[in-house]
Amino acid sequence: MGNPKIVINETKFKTNVKRAIEICKAKNIDVLAVTKGFCGNRRMAELYAEAGIKNFGDSRLDNFEVYKDIPGHKQLLRIPMISEIPRMIELCDSSLNGDLDVIKKISDYCLKNNKKPHEIVLMVDLGDRREGVLPEDALKSAKLISEMKGVKLIGLGCNFGCYGARIPSDETMKQFVEIQHKIEDELNIKLTHMSGGNSLSLHMVWENRMPEEINVLRMGFAMIFGTEDMYRQTIDGMYRDAFRCEAEVVEVDYKSSMPIGACGIDAFGHVPYFEDIGDIKRIILAIGKLDTMFDAMIPYDDKLKILGGSSDHMIINAQDSDIEYKAGDIVTFALDWGSLLYLFNSSYVIKEFEK
C-alpha cells in the first residue's frame, strides 16, 4: 500500500477503550465514546463497539450517518444548528444544548412531527467560556425546558479545556452538582444524565474526586492517546502508540539552513523566520499541511526536527540523527489531537488497520 498513512493498532486501541470503561465503571460512570476525531471512519466506531462502548458522541451528523446501524445511544456534542434539527432527530437520541431558542425549535419539530421527545442535556458553563448557560441562569433555563413538551431534559453537562483551557476543580464540580440538586428539588424532576466533562476530567475519577452524581464522561482523547490531557502521562494499562503516521522520504539533501534571496511571504501568507545554523542535512517527506498539522507530529526518531513545509512537503532537519535516511525510507510519527484530525480527514492519507 502507498504512503502517507495513519496506522491504527486495533488491539492497543481496544485495550485503551476497555481500560477507560473499567476505570469509569468502578465509579458508576458510563463512557460516552467520542468519534468526531475519526471524521466518519466506520471501522473506528466498530472498534469502540467491539470494546464494549454503548454510548457514542460526535459533533457532526454526517459521521453518525456512517455508523447509524451500530446500536447504542447517539449524542450530538455540538449545539445543533436549527437547520439540522430534522436530520438530528433521525440520527440522534440526545444532544448537548445551551440556547433556549434552539431547544424550543427542537421541541416544536418533535411535537409537529409526532416524534418522541428528544433528550436534552443542558450545558452549564463553569468557566471555559464555550457553550452553555451560566450557573446563575441554569435553574431558570431548566424550568423553561421542562415546560416544553417535545423535549425531555435528561441532565446537565459541563466541559473544560477546550476554548478557555480551564481545568476542572473540586469547587467547580461541587457547584455543578449543586445546580443539579437545586433543579431537581425546585422542579421536582430527576436528572439522570450528569455529564461531567471530557478526557480532561478522567483523572478526577481515579483520584476519587468526581462527585458521585456524575454518571457520564464524554471521552475521545484519553482512549485514543492513552494519556490524560492534563498530565500527558500514559495512563496505567493504556498505550500511547495506538495510532501513528508513516510518511515517505522523497529527497535527502545538504543545504544552507538559511534560504537565499530577498524574503517575501511563504505559501500561506506568512513571513517566515529562519535561524542560520549553517549547512544541514535535510530530508523532505511527501506529506504536507494539507494532510496534517505539523505542530502535532512527533517523530519517533527524536533527533529529527521539523523545520516547516508547504501544502505537500514536510522539511526536516536530520543533521543530528543517527539514521542514514535515503529516498524511499519511512519516517514514523506519534500523533496528537490536531494531527489525528487532519490525517483522518485527508482523503490522501491511507487508513491502515493492523491487528
Ligand X SMILES: *Cc1c(COP(=O)(O)O)cnc(C)c1O
Continuous H helices in the chain:
10-25, 42-50, 61-66, 85-91, 100-112, 138-146, 170-187, 202-206, 221-225, 337-345
Q: Shortest gap between Cβ of 193 and ligand X (angstroms)? A: 13
Distance of CA 321 to the CA centre of its chain: 33
Q: How far is the CB of 181 from ligand X (least distance, A)?
A: 23
| Min separation Cβ 161 and ligand X, Å | 7
Residue found by looking up cell 448557560 in the block: 133
Q: Which of 75, 97, 159, 215 binds ligand X (CB under 6 A)?
A: 159
Segment contacting ligand X (CB under 6 A): 100-108, 215-223, 323-331, 344-352? Answer: 215-223
Which residue has the closest beta carbon to ligand X? 220
Residues paired with 120 in a beta bridge: 95, 153
List C-alpha distances in Å: 74 to 52, 139, 192. 15, 26, 16
270-329: contacts with ligand X (CB under 6 A):
none
Interacting span for ligand X (CB under 6 A) from 79-87, 177-185, 219-227, 251-259: 219-227
List 12, 36, 182, 281, catalytic entry: 36
The single-letter DSSP state of residue 46 is: H
Give the range of 4-12, 164-172, 220-228, 316-324 binding ligand X by CB under 6 A.
Answer: 220-228
Binding mask 222-261 for ligand X (x = CB under 6 A): x------x--------------------------------
Please report, as residue ranges, which positions from 6 to 65 form the binding site for ligand X (by CB under 6 A).
34, 36, 59
Q: Assess contact for 47 and 280: CB atoms under 8 A.
A: no
User: 36 or 143: whose CB is closer to ligand X?
Assistant: 36
Radius of gyration of the chain (CA): 23
Among candidate residues 30, 29, 38, 43, the one with its CA nearest the CA of residue 60: 38
Which residue do the cell numbers 495513519 mark?
6
Per the annotation, the verdict on 36 as an active-site residue is yes
> Any long-range contacts for 85-93 (C-beta under 8 Å, 24+ apart)?
85/109, 86/113, 87/61, 88/61, 88/118, 89/113, 89/115, 89/118, 91/61, 91/64, 91/65, 92/61, 92/64, 92/118, 93/118, 93/119
**220 counts as binding ligand X under rule CB under 6 A:** yes
Among 16, 55, 199, 321, binds ligand X (CB under 6 A): 199
Which is closer to ligand X, CB of 109 or CB of 221?
Answer: 221
Select from 14, 26, 34 the least CA-distant residue to 199.
34
Site residues (CB under 6 A) for ligand X, limited to 87-106: 96
Nearer CB in complex with ligand X: 141/198: 198
Min CB(353)–ligand X separation in Å:
21
Footprint of ligand X (CB under 6 A): 34, 36, 59, 77, 96, 159, 198-199, 218-222, 229
Catalytic residues: 36
